[in-house]
Amino acid sequence: MKHFLTYTFARFGLLALTFGIGYLAGLRGMWLYILAFLGSGIISLVVLDNQRTLMGGALGKYFSGINAKIDANTRKEDID
């Protein structure tokens, strides 16, 4: 959960940063939103690569645990 929150807040921070830079550069309206989202997405691909990898590993482990519990319960039902 820690890695998920760290990555999410970092993405929101990058979005706010690119939004602010676009606003200071004179962008207004729909162009400001479009370029802020695109810019933050492109920047996050490079800057947040490590956090994204950590988050993916943590989420994979979490869902693997859920699948293991489901499989164990299915096996338990098959025995009965």
pLDDT digits (tens, 9 = 90+) for 25-43: 999 999 999 999 999 999 9
pLDDT of 77 above 80? no
Specify whether the CB–CB gap between 11 and 40 falls below 8 A.
yes
What residues contact 23, with CB distance under 8 A and at least 6 apart? 32
Per-residue confidence (pLDDT) for residue 73, from 0 to 100: 86
- Identify the band that residue 80 occupies on the pLDDT scale cut at 50, 70 and 90: low
Domain carrying residue 11? 2-79
> How many domains is the chain partitioned into structurally?
1
* CA distance linking residue 26 with residue 32, whole number of Å: 9
pTM for this model (two decimals)? 0.73
